[in-house]
Structure 1
Amino acid sequence: MQSIANFSYLTRLPSQCGYLVLNDDGAILASFGDLLYDEVTANTIYKMMITPQSGTLFRKLPWKMSRIYVLSCKIFIHILLDVMNSVRQTGERRNFRLFYCWLILFILYLLSDIVTVFYCNVSQSIFSDSCLLEKESPMNFTNNMKNIILPEPCQVDVHEFVLFVPVRVWDVDVRDAIRRTWMQNLNKDIRFKMFFVLALPVIDSIHEEAKLHNDVLLIDVVDSYFNISHKVHQALQWIDQNCPKVKYVIRVDPDVVLFKDRLMVYLEERWNPLIRTVVGYCRRLNCVVRMSTSKWCMPRHYFAPNIYPPFCAGYTYILTADLLKPILSHWPSSYFHLDDVLVTGLLASKVTNMRMISEEFLFDSEKPFDDFPCHRRGPIVAASYPNVEQFIFRWFAYQNRCAHKPNTFSLSIF
């Protein structure tokens, strides 16, 4: 198969939509700028569907990059060709039944975007324009925001990955549990730099904790769910100023587990380097919540549209470091508390040639980490347990179970 590395225009792939690259015969050489598929030739059928012009085609699709869509197109083409061959050979029209059933499902799938948009527009008309929890001590962004406690700066030419965890200041036991479990594996790799992002009030033990671990960034805003975006801004700004040679920035919630070995397998086995890219569990056509009692409620005077732009869920996402300066330069002065929508959606979309890669199977916030098999190609992120004692117990039990399977999972996580 012809190598897609020869196509110079692949570097111009955007983030919120997909592309197909076809050769002169209508064969799929690549799709959506990131995934390489086997060649599927459907000269006449695919040319009727896509309407290619002469020569190599570079055509934009009006929907998000999706493996499911590419697979659906392939199945559709194969079924259509099989049915046509069968009818041509046997003349039995009943063979069309399977094709018609599948075609109906395929059309419904393509119309799902229209249904979603309609639902968002109709459902939000019944809600008020205010949010009750909006008064939970939010504050507008200001350049005068200060850092009270700082972690140690990155070591130039040493640290390649910076990971930060926004967490409540009084969750001392949560931070200790994270340090004892999955973060311990990262600390053993000199390429990784980790720190926690906290906010006011300053508790008695915080200075001692910061001095002991050198992994605390404390900022002078009130610790609230509605001020998380300020934590993220200060973390990104600190990284931009103190980690000049870093390659990747990883934002992680305290209620998930990140596997370093699986992260490295994912990054090192990529055929193309990540440039201006966001990786995570990315969503599109996500309705804006207007229900006043919800913590995700977004007032219209902060965000008027009914649908958010494509973004990656905030429990974990990866940013290439070349996105930091553009994102920080576009940071708004008005209040916006949903940091994942803000950083990976609204701000990242302003960056030229930004790419968004959705890896929903590698970023799982629902299924507990020890429900997955011990395998290097398992999810990079999985759910933790709300109880700290239970989390620690289940973590070390999972380690012991995986330690007997060295061929499937590298357990440098002790």
Structure 2
Amino acid sequence: MGVDIKEFINSKEFEKMPFSKRNEIVLDYLYKESKKTYDCVLHENNTRHCFSFKDDVIYAKKKYRDEDMAMKYPHQYNLVINNPHACDSNPQILIGSPVGPRQFLERMGTRHSWGSVRNVNGISVKHLFFVGQDENDPEGDKMLREESEYYHDIVQFDMKNHFMNLTLLAILTYNWTDYYCPNIKYYVRSDNDMWFNPYQMISNFLTKERTNALMGNKIVGGKPIRVSVSRYYLSKAVFPDEVFSPYMSGCFLAMSRDVLPIIVKRCVDIGPIIYFDDVFLGQIAKIANISLVSFPWNKVYYYPKAYGGKEYSKLWAIHRYTAVDNMALWQMANL
């Protein structure tokens, strides 16, 4: 393909294609590119250049307003796309990934790697995507509906898709999961740029019965960034404290099922709800006395790691991989 794949996916030409053709094109691209990555890792001593790591964006596109950094809840939000029977099979573990409506490439990479896992040593598993809504994008809405009708793994709310609304998306996700998936034991949140190994993580950590538990990489002593050009800026007017309550890194965490309704119920008790969804969970954990349980230090990495072959089979998760990387790594870990 002569053009950038992400540009092509967002082009008018791509929009006009039937879903079956769009699906075929993206899958063909992912399989071809992931094979190149896979072959590179197998045959190179220095594997770092084999991957197309996803860099973090550290600067804000425009200055944040105080009113944008905090939100009020509860508020009535409706479902645009629902899959109410997603948990009819009574999965014991639900894995949820927050994504943007136009992130078709990323969703396909997840579906055809770790998102395809349905059973881990007799423990039933389900994966879903949770999505907001882009403004004035009827073609994007149409394509997302067609995708949902094919895969039945998307839940979309009528809230604005925006970085500042991540906490709102999280609350709506927990509320939906609490209602539609009453029999799960654990909810696992994994960003779509995580490489995740459900086989390792579930069999080594989520077989134990836990209640009132939030699990992840615990961050203690984290401080708000007061530099206004930062993407992670937080003003004193919105958050006057100089230190966050202990919290779990938000890109990859888990919680026992009983924590879901507590989050939804207690979110009105913490004052302004800030856009850091992981810090928000730490605030809830503090006032609701939810236990923070740390993952083993050497199983989850929050920056890319360049390993070879079988080393990936021992890890649980690594952050900032692309859809192509995810599919290549999935093949390596499951040889």
Q: TM-score under structure 2 normalisation?
A: 0.71
Match of 2:193 in 1: 255
| Residue 293 of structure 2 is aligned to residue 360 of structure 1 | no
Q: Deviation per CA, 1:271-311, whole angstroms, max 9, x where unpaired?
A: xx322111111100011111111121112222111000100
Q: Do the aligned partners of 2:186 and 2:254 also contact (CA within 8 Å) in 1?
A: yes
| 1:341 is the counterpart of 2:279 | yes
Residue 163 of structure 1 is matched in structure 2 by 95
- Aligned partner of 1:183: which letter? G
Aligned to 2:327: 392
Task: Give the aligned partner of residue 116 of structure 2.
Answer: 184
Measured at CA, do residues 395 and 156 of structure 1 come closer, stay the same or move farther in structure 2, by a change above 3 Å? closer
Choose the corresponding residue for 2:63, options 132, 153, 169. 132
Deviations 1:119-167 (A, max 9, x none): xxxxxxxxxxxx9234796654342122211124354673111111011
Percent of aligned positions that are identical: 16
Of 280, 288, 294, the residue aligned with 1:351 is: 288
Q: Partners in 1 of 2:246 and 2:306 — Cα distance?
A: 27
Which of 196, 218, 226 aligns to 2:156? It is 218
Count of residue pairs brought into register by the alignment: 265
- Which amino acid in 1 is paired with 2:249? A
- More off after superposition, 170-179 vs 363-372: 363-372
Distance 1:195 1:311 in 2: 24
How far did residue 361 of structure 1 move? 2.0
Listed as ranges, the gaps of 5+ residues in structure 1 are 1-130, 404-414
Cα 1:249–1:222 shift into 2, 3 Å: same
Report if the CA contact (8 A) 2:218-2:292 is conserved.
no
Among 240, 251, 255, which residue is 1:304 paired with?
A: 240
Opposite residue 132 of structure 1, the aligned amino acid is: K
Q: Secondary structure at the match of 1:382?
A: strand
Equivalences for 1:95-244 in 2 at 5 Å? 132-134=63-65, 139-155=71-87, 158-186=90-118, 191-201=124-134, 203=140, 204-244=142-182
Stretches of structure 2 lacking an aligned partner (at least 5 in a row): 1-61
Q: CA RMSD in A?
A: 2.7
Shift of 1:205: 0.5
- Equivalences for residues 296-335 of structure 1 within 5 A: 296-332=232-268, 334-335=272-273
Cα distance in 2 for residues equivalent to 1:324 and 1:274: 13
What is the DSSP-based 3-state SS (H/G/I as helix, E as strand, rest coil) of the residue aligned with 2:255?
A: strand
Higher relative contact order (CA 8 A, sep 6+): 2
SS at match of 1:287: coil
Contact (CA 8 Å) 2:194, 2:251: kept in 1 or not? yes
- Indicate the SS of the match to 2:251: strand
> Aligned partners of 1:389 and 1:161: how far apart in 2?
25
SS of residue paired to 1:331: helix
| Residue 390 of structure 1, CA deviation | 4.6
> Structure 2: how far apart are the matches of 1:155 and 1:392?
25
Cα distance between partner residues in 1 of 2:221 and 2:228: 21
Amino acid aligned to 1:392: M
1:366 deviates by 1.1
Cα 1:300/1:242, change in 2 over 3 Å: same
